């Protein structure tokens, strides 16, 4: 599961890096976004809350990465629109497999996840009243919770993590990531413009 979190972060970072090849520093990156004509992409719209029975009744198959910005910066909004168009292709190159990777929320409180040939189960908690879902990961004796929100619309499940919180948690679990250049790109953008959420959509199988 940690690999999936890192992959989603790197999808965003790689898209940002591609756009920033001619920019100098964070401000240059943001100015480049602001001055460029971003391809139009429909922003994600919130779905409805699921009951516990609805969440656990099916296997959810990964379909696409998601990025949502809830802040009020027009510059950041343009940047997110530009990044959103690139993310599916980058996700594929980073090992996220649309149509085959999956997660099943089991009734015993574990989430069974498949990413290519890799399979893992992690504990989760879900509150159907709020859509709050939290995954618990343990690495090298360190246990952390990764909170998110889960909603569904037209049979599509969307799970979104607060980018700032997720990055901070990953760095506590894996301090070696502090030198990862891709992660530093996304951290710089997230620190400057809070309100970015990253995650993925899943189709019911």
Percent of the chain having pLDDT more than 90? Answer: 32
Interval 41-97: pLDDT, tens: 334 456 899 999 999 999 999 998 888 888 888 877 877 777 777 777 777 777 788
Six token digits for residue 75: 């510059």
Q: Tell me the C-alpha distance between 168 and 100, whole Å.
A: 29
Q: Tell me the C-alpha distance between 19 and 9, whole Å.
A: 16
Interval 3-21: pLDDT, tens: 565 555 555 555 554 444 4
pTM above 0.85, yes or no: no
Q: Which own/partner pairs from 115-124 qualify as long-range (CB within 8 Å, at least 24 positions apart)?
A: 115/3, 115/4, 118/3, 120/1, 122/1
Higher pLDDT, 184 or 127: 127
Is 106 in contact with 38 (CB distance < 8 Å)?
A: no
How many C-beta atoms surround the C-beta of residue 80 within 10 A? Answer: 24
Burial of 48 (0-12, 13-18, 19+ CB in 10 A): exposed
Q: What residues have CB less than 8 Å from 42, skipping those under 6 apart?
A: none
């Amino acid at each position: 599961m940690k690999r999936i979190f890192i992959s989603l972060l790197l999808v965003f970072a790689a898209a940002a890096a591609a756009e920033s090849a001619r920019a100098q520093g964070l401000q240059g990156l943001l100015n480049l976004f602001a001055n460029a004509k971003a391809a139009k992409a429909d922003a994600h719209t919130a779905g409805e809350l699921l009951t516990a029975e609805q969440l656990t009744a099916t296997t959810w198959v990964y379909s696409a990465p998601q990025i949502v910005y809830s802040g009020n910066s027009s510059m950041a909004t343009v940047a997110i629109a530009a990044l959103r168009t690139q993310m599916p292709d980058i996700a594929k190159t980073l090992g996220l497999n649309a149509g085959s990777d999956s997660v099943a929320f089991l009734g015993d409180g574990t989430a069974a996840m498949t990413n290519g040939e890799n399979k893992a189960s992690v504990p989760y908690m879900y509150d159907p009243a709020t859509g709050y879902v939290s995954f618990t990961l343990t690495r090298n004796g360190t246990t952390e919770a990764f909170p998110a929100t889960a909603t569904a619309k037209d049979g599509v499940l969307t799970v979104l993590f607060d980018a700032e919180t997720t990055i901070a948690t990953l760095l506590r679990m894996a301090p070696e990531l502090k030198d990862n250049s891709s992660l530093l790109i996304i951290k710089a953008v997230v620190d400057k413009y809070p309100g970015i959420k990253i995650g993925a959509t899943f189709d019911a199988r």
